[in-house]
A and B are shown apart, each in its own frame.
Chain A
Amino acid sequence: MNNNNEKKYIRSHEPVFWGLFGAGGTLTAFMTPVMILITGILVPIGLFGEGKFNYQQIHQFATSWYGAAIILILVALPLWHTFHRIFHGLHDLGVKQGRDWQQVICYGSAFAVTIFVLTLLLQMIAA
């Protein structure tokens, strides 16, 4: 590991967060607008789905294993994307104090919500 009298290089853990950021970014760009359009606009004004998006249907989807997995991915990854961007945005804005805490709060929030959604979905499946 140490090539004598050479500078010590410290590996960054950024690849983990960059990977989640990239995956989340792709979802945010391609899926989120479509989902908002469908569930937020088209279904409520009755232009799409014709009663297929009622509570029972959605609940059935959310309590199936694949449905739960899809919902988890659709909620969690964009969240990791967002908090990663906020964390780097703070650096870009020159907020230098407490970078460690910024990191804990940003990625901690993403982690907490991910676990929250996961537990919620598991509870619904178990119920």
Chain B
Amino acid sequence: MANKTIKIEILRYRPEQEDKPSPQLFEVPYSPDLTILEALQYIKDHLDSTISFRWSCRMAICGSCGLMVDGVPKLGCKTFLRDYFPNKIKLEALANFPIERDLVVVMDDFINKLEEIKPYIIPEDNTKCLSDGPHQQTPEKLAKYKQYSMCINCGLCYAACPQYALDTKFTGPAALALLARYNRDSRDAGSKQRMKIVNQEEGVWGCTFVGYCSVVCPKGVDPAAAIQLLKVESSKDYLIGMFKPD
């Protein structure tokens, strides 16, 4: 096991010194329990301190370390060198997002979309008073949306989505899954407002059910399923809208 190493090629982009991204090769000590994120930290500490990448929790919960590993969207902290060794690993910034610097991308469009779908519980008008006690939920009511509430906003699904790649107007997987999470919550009364977003061409109808978003999602959210369920809701809404235009 003595002194094994693994080659890591990183697509670098330093806007102040180059017009377009170019690859740089590093060689780091290999051990089967090292993650891609730890390899990047090794590079930053020992080989090249100028390399830029995002991370925080190191345990697949903050969603900041997304990147392309050999062309596949992955979390750096949840991906192990052992699954690639002895081959060279190619790292690039998340696809479909503008590169800010090296492996850091501009997330603004994604964040705006998450905000646009009103990701909070919209209570009914005759809101319960605090003194009336909590809104109780049965396990069944919880099960209706729990899976869609597990998203960590890593953006891997947007990097995977060919429709988002073609047209960034598409609301996209994570935002639509989050929308489903609130629409399916028994305490929420905001479905009507959110269905307007769903019903658009850029809403669920921008999706052609490729399903790659659900494959790459590190939290098992299955955004593709959320979108297909919303398509059914949108179709019902369409029928109702034919007889009862608002």
A interface residues with partner B (beta carbon < 8 Å): 1, 3, 9-16, 18-19, 88, 91-92, 94
Contact = CB atoms under 8 A, between A and B. Distances in A.
B180 to A, nearest CB: 17
Contacts of B203: 12
Interface in B227-246: 231, 234-235, 238-239, 241, 246
Contact of B166 (A3, A11, A15, A92): A92
Contacts of A88: 208
Contacts of B196: 9, 11
13 contacts: A9-B196, A10-B201, A11-B196, A11-B200, A11-B238, A12-B201, A13-B238, A14-B201, A14-B205, A15-B239, A18-B205, A88-B208, A92-B208
Contacts of B197: 9
Contacts of A13: 238
A28 to B, nearest CB: 15
Interface residues of B, number: 18
A14 B208 CA distance: 11
B208 A18 contact: no
Interface of B: 162, 166, 193, 196-197, 199-201, 203, 205, 208, 231, 234-235, 238-239, 241, 246
B166 A94 contact: yes
Given A19-B235, A88-B208, A92-B208, A9 B200 contact: yes
Contacts of A18: 205, 231, 235
Contacts of B199: 9, 11-12
Given A11-B238, A18-B231, 16 more contacts: A1-B246, A9-B197, A9-B200, A10-B201, A11-B196, A11-B199, A11-B241, A12-B199, A12-B200, A12-B201, A12-B203, A12-B205, A15-B239, A16-B238, A18-B205, A92-B208
A11 B198 CA distance: 9
B172 to A, nearest CB: 16
A9 to B, nearest CB: 4
Contacts of A94: 166
A10 B208 contact: no
A9 B196 CA distance: 6
A121 to B, nearest CB: 28
Nearest to A91: B166
4 cross-chain pairs, A with B, having the tightest CB-CB distances, nearest first: A14-B205, A9-B196, A15-B235, A15-B238
B111 to A, nearest CB: 17
Nearest to A88: B208
Nearest to B236: A15
A112 B162 CA distance: 32
